[in-house]
Structure formats: structure tokens, C-alpha cells
Amino acid sequence: MGRYCSKMAYRFYSGSGSLGYEVRGLLNYNLSCCTNALLQSFSATTELLDILNKWHPSDETDERNVLLQLKNALEAMRDKSHPAPHKDFLKCLYYQAVRPSTQQDADEIFHIILNLSQKQMPDAAVAQEIRSLFEIQVENQVVCSECTYIHRAPSSLFSLPLAIFERDTLESCIKSFFMLQELPDSEKAYCDRCAEKRPSTHEVRLVSLPPILCVQLKRFRNDKGFIRKLSSKVTFPEMFSTEIFAAGQSENADYVKTNEYYSLYAVIVHEGHMFGHYTAFIRSNQEEMWYYADDCRVRPSTWADVQDTYGGSHQYGSTAYLLLYRKKSRNLSA
């Protein structure tokens, strides 16, 4: 299990223009494919690496600190002589948050890692930088249908959870997320002005977008007590304008700049039905080349291969589950 996999590394160039590093395949320990795929996306997130490099853990730092082991794992993934760069990171997760040898949900593990990083990071400034890198700030607005009083509740997300339907697009899923909804009579909301429960509407309004936007395509649905996977086709672009969020902005929102775009750089893929397998497509900040990582197997790939994960073929196919986009100014060459 600790042996180095052959033909599992490809040269990957970072956005800083350095010599880059080799995309390392990762051995599967105790059904770790989900965490392996997430580690590939974290490794391609150069902004996260820059933040972690600002932190210099002391000798007294607990070995069960998730960020310590994540930092070590990402550094070891750049050392092709290291046979198991992520083994200690997996042990750390298994010790305090994740059951080994069980199927995991990629979005859940993504949140576990980021939430533990906030709790266990001794440097408050670094913890805030990591939070700000991924945090989507929103505002829940419940409006009384009788007196139009608006109850506002701020909230934050590390990923944008988008419900999907048959033959959907990313843009339409985003618009649906911010759509006004009438609350049913059974869910009347308490109005502070009326001092009683009233018929109301609810909507989520956007306050701010992060440098790294993680989108969850909600492919798992509870159907009469049973969880089933939705194989619906959902198309998503390599790049899109932040203008698609304009209609969903809160009155308190940061201004969405018209010259800003999000560029796709990582896709976490789920293969199978309820219990399946996770893989990842990643690309660098500058390079057009995509790479496909399936545990210890890594190979060059293409945008056409990524598009094959849109779904719509059959319920056991490979379908995109998490999309990671990087915010940047208008630059189609990046």
C-alpha cells in the first residue's frame, strides 16, 4: 500500500511562472478516493498554498491539527520521492472527523476540512484568509406578505448548493437559487412588526463572492426515505461572468464588477449510483491542459473529457459534483 505508483505523475505549471510540480497520483487507503480527489483540487488552488506558506507551525503544534497535515500533504505531493504524501492527513481526518473504510460525500468532507481549519488554526489572521478565500456571504430575507416587513439574517457558505433539474445549465441553477419563493401556509413566518405568524416569501440574496467559488451540484435527493442520485444533464462553462449574480444581489452587497470572471480549474466527479467512486479533473492557473486524477492514476486530459461529466446518460455514469472556479479579471487566455 505504501509503494509509489508507476506512471502517476505529470508536470503541472503553477500560475507564478515557476517550474511547477508534477501532478501526483494518490494511493487509495480505506476508501479514500473522495479525499484524494479533494486533495488534487486543493493542490491546484495556488492561493491556498500561498496562505499556508505564511504559517510556520511550532514544534508544539498538535500532529492531529488538520491544517498542519494538509500543509504537509500538499508539500509532499510536490516531492516525487515521497511514496505516500497524504497518509498522515488521512489518519488525522480518520481520528477526529471521518470514519475510515466508509463511503464519503465530497461536499461534506470539503466542509469538514474547512471548518476544522477554522477551529484548529492558531494564527487568527491565516484562519481568516483561508475563510475569505472560500466564503460566500449571503442574506436570507423573509418578507411579510401583510406589512412587507423584511427580516434579514446574514449567513455564509463554503459551497453554493444548487438544486438541479432535467437538462439544466449552471446559469439557470444559480438563478433558481436566488429566486423568490412563496412559503406555504404550514410554514408561516413570525413577523416582528405584526407580532404574529404571517404568510411570507423567502429568498436568498448575495452579499459577496469569494476568490475561489465552489459550486455543489446537488445530485443526491431524498425520495420517500431513500437517497437516490440524479443523473440529469447539467452543462457548465469553462468561464462565466460574475454578472449572472447581479439579479440575486442584496441591497447590502459588494458591487459585482462587470469585468470579473470565474474560470473553472477543478471538477470533482462522482461515478456510480449511491455508493460510488470519486475522481478529479484539474488544471493550473495558466495552462490550458487538463489532467485527470483517479487515485494513483494520472493522465493528461481535455475540456471535452470534462464535458463528458455533464451527465444525462445513465444513473451510474461519471457526473460532475463539485466545481471549483477561480475569480479573475477579463483575460480569456488564462
Please state the pTM of the whole predicted model.
0.90
- Residue 324 · residue 266 · CB < 8 Å: yes
Q: Which CATH architecture has domain 9-329?
A: Alpha-Beta Complex (3.90)
Distance of alpha carbon 33 from alpha carbon 3, whole angstroms: 17
Locate 304 and state its grid cell: 471535452
Locate 94 and state its grid cell: 480518520
- Residue 22 · residue 80 · CB < 8 Å: yes
- Phi first, then psi: give them for residue 36, nearest 5 degrees: -60, -45
Question: What confidence score (pLDDT) does residue 116 get?
Answer: 95
User: Domains of the chain: which residue ranges?
Assistant: 9-329
Distance of alpha carbon 323 from alpha carbon 40, whole angstroms: 13
- Phi first, then psi: give them for residue 228, nearest 5 degrees: -130, 155
Question: What confidence score (pLDDT) does residue 204 get?
Answer: 95
Residues of the chain with pLDDT under 70: 1-21, 224-225, 254-258, 285-287, 314-316, 330-334
Locate 280 and state its grid cell: 478529479
Those residues with Cβ within 8 angstroms of residue 126's Cβ, 6 or more apart along the chain or in another chain: 51, 52, 54, 55
